[in-house]
Amino acid sequence: MSQYLDYREFNNSFFRSKIPQLLKEIFKIIWIRKGHPYLVGGSVLDLLCNRIPKDWDIEIFNMDFSNLSLILSKFGEPNMIGKKFGIIKLKHENLDLEFSIPRTENKIGVDHKDFNIKFCPHISIRQAALRRDFTINTLYYDYFNKSLIDPFNGLEDLKKGLLHYVNENTFKEDSLRVFRGVQIIARKLYKSTEKYNNLVRTMIDKGEFENIQGESIFQEINKMFSQAISFSVAAKHLEETNLLNFFGLDKLVHCQQNSEYHPEGNVWEHTKLVMENAFKYRDELPENWRLPFMWGMLLHDIGKPSKTDPETLSAYGHAEYGAKFTKTYMSLFTKNKSFISKVVAIVRLHMRARELIRNKAKRPVWIRLQHQCRLDILAYVSMCDSDGRGFPPKGKEGDFNIIMNKWKGIGTPCDKVPPVLMGRHLIEKGLIPNKKFGIYLKQAYQYQLKHNEINIEKLLSIAIGKKKVANKT
């Protein structure tokens, strides 16, 4: 069911009343200069759905780019970063305005950005709308003629909560639109049409995503992970379009689990339940951990297909194996090493906190785990994983509170436990800095984490030996 069921019939008075005064003033000047402004795309959708747009999209017909730039410069400092595409952004107090000139686009290369752009301010609205991705984004509001223009039946698709492409040929020219569709479906709870699903499957079969930069896909999926409220709609779309295969997640479908521990079914069914929990609790995490957390939960059992014994259905070693796989996998989407390390840590340690609880581990062991990944993050990881097993969820009444209390007891919110023994301590004992310093400090640090040791003399003896300490003193 679509969030757009709050849709209201087009009401000109409502539209005009919600347009900011500054934008009305810009419209009037453009109109006087013989230009014709239209609200378009997301702005129109928001107004039709009783929402005030955060970003206002305006397309200007019958006016060239230079004249539009001149007009907008009177209202602030225009951002010309999109000049190649005939786009000018203007920020004024709380308003984010994006103006564009109608254009045609012809594919000239293999990358999704390789287009020959031609400004065509005098073409028809239908011609201009052909370059747009989805029918719901082809709605135009004519401020001066007080009308809604719908060249590709976007209004009907909006009412039904359907996502459909405008034109098959132009849609395929920018294959990143497929991934934009994933996040739109997840955020707006849309359903894609069968023709749209068939087109995506065909594009996958023909390898039409091979030249998209991984970072571009990463950004679209991150929008889903940060803004959507549920994973189930996105999961169904991934299944229906074979995008599950593209992301390498189809192998989870074919990996069975022991029904005694996982009555929900295969690993993909488990992952979907885990992701529902992740979406539920995502915003409770520190902001810089939210997206790594979402990716980590998506991939937490990615090692199971390779490590599951077909006889016993046990999957010993799947976390460690999955972490190695995840490091390579995530590098296809981002070069952010810090981000990748967080995702890898979640995959590798997703069961570790529960194991420590079962084994009644002492404080030093928890400190060592805190060094590898924040315990508060692992508390959410453990809860989402445990509650995704087809049993009645325990929520924060389960292991979550135990792990959080361990984290609070350690008394540091930092990602790593700071080392006690430093290079200066070795120098103070008379050692000359050399290549062995790193080895000495690593030995001492590992001992510190394991035994919760803070005595410098003790750590010195661990690092370089008691005799050497004695000799240097």
Residues 134 and 86 in one domain: yes
Residue 352 sits in a domain whose CATH number is 1.10.3210
Domain limits for position 235 = 175-247
Residue 64 sits in a domain whose CATH number is 3.30.460.10
- Residue 78 identity (one-letter amino acid): P
Q: Which helix (H) or strand (E) holds 458?
A: helix 456-464
Residues 309 and 330 in one domain: yes
Per DSSP bridges, beta strands 36-40 and 87-92 are unpaired
Determine the pLDDT at residue 4.
Answer: 39
Beta-ladder partners of 107? 115
For tokens 């719901």, name the residue: 136
**Closest by Cα among 278, 196, 186 to 236:** 186
Q: How far apart are CA 161 and CA 225, in angstroms?
A: 21
Determine the pLDDT at residue 3.
Answer: 42
Question: What pTM did the predictor assign?
Answer: 0.83
Beta-ladder partners of 40? 140
From 222, 247, 272, give the residue that closes a domain: 247
Q: Which two tokens stand for residue 395?
A: 């929520």
Q: How far apart are CA 121 and CA 379, in angstroms?
A: 56
Does residue 242 contact residue 200 with C-beta atoms inside 8 Å? yes
Concatenated DSSP letters for 380-396? HHHHHHHTTSSSPP-GG
Q: Please tell me whether residue 254 adopts helix, strand or coil conformation.
A: coil
Q: Where are the alpha helices (DSSP H) in 33-142?
A: 42-48, 65-72, 125-129
* 399-410 helix and 375-386 helix, angle to the nearest 10 degrees: 180
Concatenated DSSP letters for 196-219? HHHHHHHHHHTTTTTTS-HHHHHH
Residues 27 and 143 in one domain: yes
Distance of CA 309 to the CA centre of its chain: 33
- What's the structural domain count of the chain? 4
Residues 10 and 158 in one domain: yes
- Identify the segments of the chain with pLDDT beneath 50: 1-6, 467, 470, 473
Distance of CA 249 to the CA centre of its chain: 17
Taking the CA atoms of 322, 326, 329 and 333 in sequence, report the sign of the dihedral they define. Answer: positive
Q: How far apart are CA 224 and CA 279, in angstroms?
A: 10
* Domain-located, residue 96: yes
Residues 150 and 16 in one domain: yes
Distance of CA 366 to the CA centre of its chain: 30
Concatenated DSSP letters for 21-40? HHHHHHHHHHHHTT-EEEEE
Q: Dump pLDDT digits (tens) for 144-203.
A: 999 999 999 999 999 999 999 999 999 998 999 999 999 999 998 889 999 999 999 999
Q: How far apart are CA 187 and CA 226, in angstroms?
A: 9
From 101, 133, 162, give the residue that closes a domain: 162
Residue 213 sits in a domain whose CATH number is 1.10.110
Q: How far apart are CA 375 and CA 450, in angstroms?
A: 16
Q: How far apart are CA 59 and CA 55, in angstroms?
A: 13
